[in-house]
Structure 1
Amino acid sequence: MNLLSLCFKPFGRDSSSNSDSKFESFVGVSKERKDGLLSYRDVGRYGSGEFSMAVVQANQVIEDQSQIESGPFGTFVGVYDGHGGPEAARFVCDHLFRHFQAISAETHRVVTSETIQRAFCATEEGFTNLVSELWSTRPQMATVGSCCLVGVICQQTLFVANLGDSRVVLGKKVGNTGGVAAIQLSTEHNANLEVIRHELNNLHPNDPQIVVLKHGVWRVKGIIQVSRSIGDAYMKHARFNREPISAKFRLPEPMDMPILSANPTIISHPLHPNDSFLVFASDGLWEHLSNEKVVDIVHNNPRAETDDHKVLIFFPELIFCLVLAYY
């Protein structure tokens, strides 16, 4: 966990980016210092505070994306865990916030669960249209998808929207004891969870093979673990579940309804003084560390001069650390 120390460094200052009159955007892992597979940087200020980041690249092609956007509405954060290729995560990173921004403008910057829901829906529709446009030349795009974990902080309320198996955990101070409790805020959509298998069976009562135990892992139709995502058009639209996509993605029976969903689970959480920090992470982290262990690591590695600030840490893969402090 030495990587965490990189995220708890003092921040650089950038007075030019401390403005609510425009949107500030910090996307992906560009303009970083590199040391082998390690990339990191002190990013500086955003609309409500400061943040830094560090990434260890695990694959030759990075399938995951992340972003922070600040503006008059508050702060938007996103972690996009791609699978099958990088295209879906990149598309989400390029379009989800733009849809959210446009829809928020329609409601005079009033953020609601419906605002976020509509942004997800527009993003899914856009990616499906792209798959359709490229079907004759790049049919494999139908098998690319991305989990999406989004947080929106608006007027001391945190909205969390999730598709897939990423997770956000709150570190909450426990009275005057100096301890911090770990509180999971999001719901995961992974067929290994009994509640998700039950949900899928209820949605597909006439399909005894809707979830299949394969090599010790429960998978939707024996193919994919997550039950919700952006993309994965081959599991949502019958017209994409056919040749020329690979046989391993094609279903043996006709698809009469979508198998996967792009409908996120959304919750709202009023932020309180005892809410110390948030950890946004993909399954790459939670497969190895418990909620309590991660919260303990963050709590025991305080950043200089930010002990009283709120901190958000994002892990879009096993080892990715992005710290966001706000006042």
Structure 2
Amino acid sequence: MYLFGVFDGHGGPWCSDAVGQSLFEYIAVSLHSPDELEPILRKEVYTSFDNDNTDIMSALESAFIKLDRDICTEAIPNAAEEMNEDLLHISTAGSCACVALVKDADLYIANCGDARAILGTIDDNGNPSVVSLSIDHNVRNENEVKRILSEHPSNESHSVIRSDRLLGLLMPFRAFGDIRLKWPINSLREYLQPYYKKGDAIPQFYFTPPYLTARPEITKHKLTKKDKFLVLATDGLWDLLSPEKVVELIFNHQKGIQSFDRFILNKTGTKKSSLKLKEISELLTARQQAIKNQPIDQNSATDLIRHALAFTSKGQFDSKLLSDVLTFPNPRSIRDDITVTIVYFDQDHIDQIDTKEKQTGK
């Protein structure tokens, strides 16, 4: 079983750092029953999770909700304690998260916010294709807008979403942290306001909290030999490149990086080659095309970021543009932060799993 994820913070890095450090552990715990956890975890830890969540989709949802609950409640001090400002920083900031769990040939995506997961595949004609595995939680998602409006009285229908933001403040409609959109009014006034330096800690039109949730939307996909790679990326990438362009760039980059390897005609190690002249010609043609498309970066994720930030409309790399974008005094005014993770699938392993499942009738 493998876990991958991208975490996009807002209002500071504190919440995304905490989520990135803890979420995988919460998922691991949620995938086990309390009986399994008892020998290795203290009672107060494992009993705080819900019942047996060994179903993967339930476990993912439980882990997201439990971690967010801990982030938002740990900032409230006990009667004998003073306010922990570090915990307050974490809970006041926020973070989106998009997590992938791979078990055998099953791929699960748990998404909370506006990071995104897509699959790079090959269609029946052998052409690159995109499969979207998540949906952004923002104003462009009609179902998400309907969900939020349905959770609050009708007299708040004009105030819940203003200027395309939740309560006029937050663009993603699901996120970890952001206690200003979750805590009761009395808690905001008592615990946050004395430390809040940006004005009133209670947002305008704050009547029926919580307005924000960290509950993820989960999808499941069965991997096949046509599925080549998974891309997890924050919204900073998708603001600049379409999913179709991202898949195209990765496929082209994979062809181009082959030119970095030394060309060996006979890879079997024998003195004679069984290749025919036509096959040799095809190999040389492919090699020539790879050299022609040789990229600057050997890492596909870095290549994507370079294209997003510094390629002109004519498809030409502009080094000055890249320098300007990266060194601009206020970079967030011209670009968002970008995090990209690319996961390549072992085709032989997927074939073995598929063959085994067919033989066992699963």
> Using the alignment, how far apart are the partners of 2:151 and 2:339 within structure 1?
35
Q: Return the match for 2:71 from 109, 117, 127.
A: 127
> Using the alignment, how far apart are the partners of 2:217 and 2:167 within structure 1?
22
Letter matched to residue 101 of structure 1? A
**Secondary structure at the counterpart of residue 189 of structure 1:** coil
1:312–1:325: 8 Å Cα contact kept in structure 2?
no
Superposed CA offset, 1:245-296 (max 9, x none): 2336522345333100111000111111111111111110111111111111
Does residue 1:160 correspond to 2:117, yes or no? Answer: no
**CA RMSD between the two structures:** 2.8
Q: Give % identity.
A: 27
Query: Which structure has the highest strand share of the two?
Result: 1
- Paired residues in the alignment total 244
Change (3 A) 1:275 1:190: same
Gaps of 5+ in 1: 1-73, 306-310
Change (3 A) 1:269 1:116: same
Change (3 A) 1:321 1:85: same
> Using the alignment, how far apart are the partners of 1:211 and 1:321 within structure 2?
29
Task: Judge which range, 283-292 or 134-143, deviates more.
Answer: 134-143
Task: State TM-score, norm by structure 2.
Answer: 0.61
Letter matched to residue 136 of structure 1? M
Larger radius of gyration, structure 1 or 2?
2
Aligned to 1:76: 3
How many Å apart are 1:110 and its aligned residue?
5.2
Gaps of 5+ in 2: 37-52, 262-298, 306-335, 347-362
**Secondary structure at the counterpart of residue 74 of structure 2:** helix
Query: Which structure has the highest helix share of the two?
Result: 2
Task: Judge which range, 231-240 or 79-88, deviates more.
Answer: 231-240
**Secondary structure at the counterpart of residue 76 of structure 2:** helix
Does residue 1:185 correspond to 2:133, yes or no? Answer: yes
Change (3 A) 1:164 1:135: farther
Task: Judge which range, 180-189 or 244-253, deviates more.
Answer: 244-253
1:279–1:312: 8 Å Cα contact kept in structure 2?
no
Task: Judge which range, 147-156 or 247-256, deviates more.
Answer: 247-256
Does residue 1:91 correspond to 2:37, yes or no? Answer: no
Aligned to 2:244: 292
Aligned to 1:117: 61
How many Å apart are 1:94 and its aligned residue?
1.7
Does residue 1:325 correspond to 2:321, yes or no? Answer: no
Change (3 A) 1:313 1:105: farther
Change (3 A) 1:254 1:209: closer
Q: Which runs of 4+ in 1 moved over 6 A?
A: 314-317
Q: Return the match for 1:283 from 235, 241, 244.
A: 235
Aligned to 1:203: 151
Does residue 1:232 correspond to 2:183, yes or no? Answer: no
How many Å apart are 1:324 and its aligned residue?
3.2
Aligned to 1:241: 188
How many Å apart are 1:184 and its aligned residue?
1.0
Superposed CA offset, 1:275-321 (max 9, x none): 1111111110111111111111111111549xxxxx99699975444
How many Å apart are 1:142 and its aligned residue?
3.9
Does residue 1:269 correspond to 2:221, yes or no? Answer: yes
Aligned to 1:27: none
Change (3 A) 1:75 1:192: same
Task: State TM-score, norm by structure 1.
Answer: 0.67
Change (3 A) 1:254 1:284: closer
> Using the alignment, how far apart are the partners of 1:185 and 1:149 within structure 2?
10
How many Å apart are 1:194 and its aligned residue?
3.5
